[in-house]
Every structure is written in structure tokens, then in C-alpha cells.
Structure 1
Amino acid sequence: MTTQALNLRLGSAPDSWGVWFPEDDRQLPYEQFLDELAGSGYEWLELGPYGYLPTDPEVLSEEVAKRGLKVSGGTVFGNLHTPEKFEATVATVSKVAKLTASQGAKHVVFIPPLFRDEKTDAINDVTEWDAGQWKTVHAAANRIGKQMFEEYGVTIALHPHADCQIMTQPQIETFLDGTDSDYVSLCLDTGHVAYGGGDNIDLIRRYSERIGYVHIKQMDPAILQQVRDESLGFGEAVKRGVCVEPPAGVPNPADIVAELSKLDAELFVIVEQDLYPCEPDVPFPIAVRTRKYLNGCGLGARHQQA
């Protein structure tokens, strides 16, 4: 019999329905996403790109509540390494933090901007930060984290991402080692850690107190090899199907759930299978199969339907 991970709460996100942008003619309407999210057996919802779901707190609350859903957190892209963009980043994060807090959620997933264009894969920024830029990043993250906590009661969870300067395990560790654990946590995205060649289990064990939120996903090892051999961008890798549903791919979701279940912390574990772009009938059956598989690993069955 599978042991239930009672400290973990399972949810999903617009990303798993092929949603990367606030508006895009290749994405499905938000009403369909919410209907299918609830219909596939999930209880918790991450908000996704600001502007895809309603940004009026009352409208959002109504749309979420009438489907029996609850909000786990918000998501935002923000620049930490360019001082002249700091105030704009604070303003953007504040909008998301305010909306997230209005829904009773306490986590804002913060993603640095990618150094490749998401649609063309063209490199448009430095791919590695020097010591001076890292100092700027640490200071900016600490300031933003403190401000968001004091103003909205939310914690910033830094999300390592393919094609950004916090992608490899050494980069993740450099970020964590230079930031304040009171205000800045790690959103452990298991797929992006694997994409960057990192070891999820090692991070969970050595940085357990810094993990504040989790995205669970798996990557196809064969396509990861193509990424390295051909220097592919993440957009192209997704089109080739790098992000796969469990139990395929790496890391093994059951191993991740087992390790997270040992932590003395309550964590949201949000399914994110990058599917942009995809046909509108593709995500729902994947979401159902994924939820059932993760339930079988001891994740979410206590909170979700069997």
C-alpha cells in the first residue's frame, strides 16, 4: 500500500494546458482551462501568466470558487540582474503579489527572464552572470522578497528555468547561498533542474529548509541529449516533446514524492507539463492520467478524488 504524503498538496497550472502567455491565439480560453482543471480532479490552481486569468480579485475568486478550486500561488517573470529595470520589476511583482494574496495564497513563483526568445530561440542576453551581476541579483531578490512579504504576506519562490542564468545546480546553489531564507525560497522545478543537469534529490536533501514550493515535471532524456548536441533553445525542445507525462522521463516522480514527504514542511506540488503550443483537446486526458499516477505515488489522494 502506498504511503500518503500528507504534507504535500497536489495542483496544476495553465502551463499544463499549453498556456505560456497572457494572450495568444494558440491558447485555449481561460474558462475551458478552469473547467478542465476541476474536471480532471485537481483542487489547487497556480495562476500562471498575469492576465490570462481574470485580474479583478472578485471575478477571479468567483471563477475559482464556483469550480471548487483554490489558489496555491501566482507566477511572475522579473529581471534581477539589470539595476535600471529594478523598479519596473518591483511594480510587476507587486501586481502579481497583490492578486495572489487576494486569493488567500502565500507564494509567488518568480522566474528570471530567459536569455533566449521563447518563440524564436534567439539569444538576446548574457548567458552567464559575472560576480558583479550575482551581487546585484542577490541584493535585488532580497529587497523584493522582503517588500512582498511585508506588503502582501507572500514569499518569493525563485524558479530555476531552462535558458536562464539560474538553470544549473551550481547556479541554483549560488542563488540560494546569497539570499535571505526569511524572504526568498526555492521553487524546485524538477524538470528544469534535470534540464540543467542538476540532481533534484541532492537539492532536496541539502537545501530542504529553502524549498518553499514545487513544480513537478519530467524531461525526456533523449531530447535532453539533442538539446546539448544541437544547442537547442527551450522553445524548440518543448516542440520536440522534451516535457513528458509520468512515469516517462527524468526525474522519477515517485522518488521526488518520497523525498519531499520526509520534509518537515507543508508544500504545494504543482504539475507543470510544458505543452505550448498544443491542440485544445490534448491537455485534459494527460491531466487526468498524470493526477491518477501521482495519486498512486502517494501525492494528493487524500485531498483529490480517487
Structure 2
Amino acid sequence: MRRLRLGSCPDSWGVWYADDPRQTPWPRFLDELVTAGYHWLELGPYGYLPTDPARLADELAARGLRCAAGTVGGVGGPHKDFPAVLAETRRVAGLTRAAGGRDVVFVPVPGYRDDATGGYREAAELSTDQWRDLLANTTTLGRMLAEEYGMSLRFHPHADYQVEYQSQVERLLDGTDPRFVSLCLDTGHLAYRRADVLGLIRQYPDRVGYVHLKQMDPALAARAAAEDWAFGQAVRLGVSVAPPSGAPEVPAVLKALEDLDAELFVVVEQDMYPVDFDVPLPIATRTRRYLEETGDFG
């Protein structure tokens, strides 16, 4: 039985924010998602797609699209203004559930760097008290989603946030309740920080609940680390690449995910912000074809 479901998301069309004139307009994104051959999508930043549940459902149904997950972002990590984080998570969960999704991907942005200027907003390491708050609040978020919405929290490690390196990901997983918190395994962000993606899958097989499939140019990632670029600067210089031209190796990742024998969404992401509107569709089409030839998707 095929257990992996392939989808994509607004990020692969250059969308990082709810509203930005440099981003692909949402009707074009939905139309091109279908043209590229995808049937599942992650909703992306809240407010980019229609937030009226009935209208969103109509727009997706008209194109034969189905919702894999909603995305929480823009409110920082759970160690910060937790009431704001909780409110935004509820808002996203309500729309996602109405659209038929079962997962909420928590993306802790903005992080400690400014993507535009490269400047540091805050320390790159959390204090002991901040780690305590992060772990407790993340479990609280997951419990709330499970008990109030019947949904699952998928925490997304992110470059330039304080959960980005492998040791930090392990600390997050070891310190949160496995009943309520699992990982959005973003293969690209982890590779960007030289994590052992396959090792994480083997070490935490029951905590991989969702996947962002992404690759990075290893040489550019190494240069970004050496020259202290912010992640947004690295993206503008092309660090995020289309499979199979980067790291980690896609066939090995897909094989490891298939071996988990779990139902998982594998959502393609290629960071391209900002990007010309005509660029994403051919890349998305080629990527979908390559992945379907390489993996066993249902």
C-alpha cells in the first residue's frame, strides 16, 4: 500500500508572506499547481489564499485540489509572545480543518536574523529559560490542536531560528510530549545546517509526521556559513535548488520515509523569494515528474 502523498505549496511559487506584490497572485498559483500535476497543497501564509472557509473550499474544489495542511508563521517561536502564537494557531487550525486538512505546520519565523538586511534581531542561542518555555509551549500547542481540533502539530526546524541544528532538533523532540508534537522534516533546512537527515529519520521514526522535501546547494550553504549570510540572502543567491541537483539525496530520503510504513504528506518546497512569475511552473512540473519516477507515491 502506498503511504506517501505528494503535494506542493505556495513557497515553491516564491510566496513567503500573506501579501506582497512581488509574489505570484494566488489564483495563478492555484491554476499553475494543477498544471504542474499536483493534487495536494499546503495552504501557506495565512491570508495569502482566501480565508473565508466557503470561498477557499470552492476555489480548491473547482481545481480538484485537496488540503494537506495549514501553515502557522510570522509570529516567531513559541518561546516568545505565546498568547499571540496560540491565537494565530487557532486561526490557522480553523481554516485548515474547514478545508479538510489534518496537519498544522508551525514555522517559527521571523527568527533571529533579518532576511533582507542580514542583521541579527536577537541571540542565535536560546537561554535555559527560553528553552523551558519553548518546550512547554510547543507541547501546549500540540495538545490544544489535538483536543480542540482533532489535528496534529508538525514543528518545522528553520534556518536562522534557534531550532536549526541537529542537536537542537533532538533537544526539541526529547523535551516535548510525543503524543502532541512531531516533526515537519524539512530536508533542505536540515541539510543547510549539515544535519544527518537520514539519521534523524532512523532515530525518531515515530516523530516524523510530515515532510517538506527540499534540496540545498552544498557549496553555497557552506559559503553562507563561512560568510555569515542570513538565510534570505542565501536564498536570493540560489542556495535552494530543484531535485536532484542538491543535498540531501532524494532517493535515499524517500526510501527511508517509505520504510517508516506511515501515512505521510511529502510537500515539495523550493525557496525562491523573490522570483519572476514565469519561473516556478516549469520547475514545479519537472520536480513532480522526477519525484514520481523516483518514489512510490499514492
| Same fold by TM-score greater than 0.5 | yes
Give the alignment partner of residue 230 of structure 1, picking from 218, 222, 227: 227
Give the alignment partner of residue 294 of structure 2, picking from 291, 294, 297: 297
SS of match in other structure, 2:206: helix
CA distance in 1, matches of 2:205, 2:53: 33
Listed as ranges, the matches of 1:78-227 within 5 Å are 78=75, 79-82=77-80, 85-113=81-109, 114-227=111-224
User: 1:43-63 CA distances to partner (integer Å, 9 max, x unpaired)?
Assistant: 100000000000000000010
Q: Normalised by the size of structure 2, how large is the TM-score?
A: 0.97
SS of match in other structure, 2:19: coil
User: 1:88-114 CA distances to partner (integer Å, 9 max, x unpaired)?
Assistant: 110011100111111111111001131
Give the alignment partner of residue 68 of structure 1, picking from 47, 61, 64: 64
What residue number does 1:271 align with? Answer: 268
SS of match in other structure, 1:28: coil
Say if 1:223 and 1:242, in contact at 8 Å, map to a contact too: yes
CA distance in 2, matches of 1:160, 1:295: 26
CA distance in 1, matches of 2:204, 2:20: 37
Which residue identity does 2:187 align to in structure 1?
T
Listed as ranges, the matches of 1:12-23 within 5 Å are 12-23=8-19
Q: CA deviation at 1:120?
A: 2.2
Say if 1:155 and 1:184, in contact at 8 Å, map to a contact too: yes
Say if 1:11 and 1:44, in contact at 8 Å, map to a contact too: yes
Structure 1 residue 261 corresponds to structure 2 residue 258: yes
Which residue identity does 1:103 align to in structure 2?
A
Structure 1 unpaired stretches of 5+ = none
Q: CA deviation at 1:163?
A: 0.4
Q: CA deviation at 1:264?
A: 2.5
SS of match in other structure, 1:116: coil
CA distance in 2, matches of 1:120, 1:98: 34
CA distance in 2, matches of 1:209, 1:162: 23
Q: CA deviation at 1:40?
A: 0.5
Say if 1:127 and 1:164, in contact at 8 Å, map to a contact too: yes
Report the more deviating stretch, 114-123 or 172-181.
Answer: 114-123
Q: Percent identity?
A: 51
Structure 1 residue 7 corresponds to structure 2 residue 3: yes
Q: CA deviation at 1:144?
A: 1.1
User: 1:14-57 CA distances to partner (integer Å, 9 max, x unpaired)?
Assistant: 00000000000101110000000011000100000000000000
CA distance in 2, matches of 1:89, 1:161: 17
Q: CA deviation at 1:204?
A: 0.5
Q: CA deviation at 1:130?
A: 2.0
CA distance in 1, matches of 2:226, 2:153: 34
CA distance in 2, matches of 1:251, 1:225: 14
CA distance in 1, matches of 2:193, 2:151: 27
Which residue identity does 2:229 align to in structure 1?
L
Q: CA deviation at 1:118?
A: 2.6
Say if 1:10 and 1:299, in contact at 8 Å, map to a contact too: no
Give aligned pairs, total: 295
C-alpha spacing 1:190/1:134, structure 2 compared with 1 (3 Å): same
CA distance in 1, matches of 2:105, 2:115: 18
CA distance in 2, matches of 1:232, 1:148: 35
CA distance in 2, matches of 1:117, 1:148: 30
Say if 1:145 and 1:183, in contact at 8 Å, map to a contact too: yes
CA distance in 1, matches of 2:115, 2:70: 20
Which residue identity does 2:165 align to in structure 1?
T
Which residue identity does 1:81 align to in structure 2?
H
Which residue identity does 2:71 align to in structure 1?
T
Q: CA deviation at 1:276?
A: 0.5
User: 1:192-215 CA distances to partner (integer Å, 9 max, x unpaired)?
Assistant: 010111010000011010010000
